[in-house]
Amino acid sequence: MGKVVLLTGASAGIGRATADRLSRGGWTVVGASRRGTSPGGWAPVVMDVDDDESVRDGFAGVLTEHPRLDAVVACAGWGLAGAVEQTPISDARDQVETNFWGVVRVVQSALPVMRRQGGGRIVLVSSIGGVVAIPFQAFYSASKFALEGYGEALGYEVGPFGIQVTLVQPGNVRTDFTKNRRSVRSPRKEDPYALAVAKAIGVMENDEAQGVAPDDVAAVVERVLRSDRPPRHVSVGKLDERVGILAKRVLPFRLFEKAAKSSLGV
């Protein structure tokens, strides 16, 4: 039996690609999703990361079947598009619930197991949008910015127990994430944001259609899990997207913002 890894969001996209790749690479993969389905090759488990009880029950089932848990890869997430002014608080909460608190639930269930066994790996699938904010997807970016801070702090706390934390930051990826993005409906007949939203989301959808394959992200996750000294952050995607992270760090913000606007569709 290979090392045991639990992945969330395993039914599609980056999660599915990562589960498939790790399974082919000899890992014992448990893929968690709300539907609890698997194409074969790895074991499924039902887990809704938005629900405390579902996460607890899912982990209980995994630990009944397996004597240890070597790694967790948190991939579950979705996107919300619309102007900040028009986004209902309930929709914003739902976005952060999955993309941030869902990760927290999973990690808190994994940590006691990893501490007892003397170590483990935690990979959090963040986003370049967690470093460079995306207009008209503010709450998606907010959830990923929060994840970045959480992952860095977590790494400091659990390092002494042999638990290593990495944030993987994908850029644009060709997945059903684009099709499944939820859009905010304007409450007004005449929407002052309509043209700007349509332009920015159109640019984003085109970039996603031209993005890297989900297996490219999966390959980075696999490399992180096999590394003796995994990085705290690693980006994956086209070069111009990844350069944006460095540009934001080194350029005066006004200059960075001016350069970034056209690529972000604003």
Q: Would you please indicate which residues are annotated as catalytic (active-site) residues?
A: 11, 126, 140, 144
- Distance (Å, whole) CA 133 – CA 140: 9
Contacts for 68 with CB less than 8 Å, ≥ 6 apart: 4, 113, 117
Contact 228, 167 (CB under 8 A): no
Contact 162, 139 (CB under 8 A): no
- Distance (Å, whole) CA 224 – CA 233: 10
Q: Strand 71-74 vs strand 120-125: parallel, antiparallel, or unpaired? A: parallel
Residue 158's Cβ-side half-sphere holds a number of Cα atoms within 13 Å equal to 25
Residue 26's Cβ-side half-sphere holds a number of Cα atoms within 13 Å equal to 5
Contact 164, 230 (CB under 8 A): yes
- Distance (Å, whole) CA 254 – CA 252: 6
- Distance (Å, whole) CA 3 – CA 66: 10
Contact 110, 8 (CB under 8 A): no
Contacts for 187 with CB less than 8 Å, ≥ 6 apart: 86
- Distance (Å, whole) CA 263 – CA 163: 37
Backbone angles phi, psi at 75, to 5 degrees: -110, -15
Residue type, 104: V
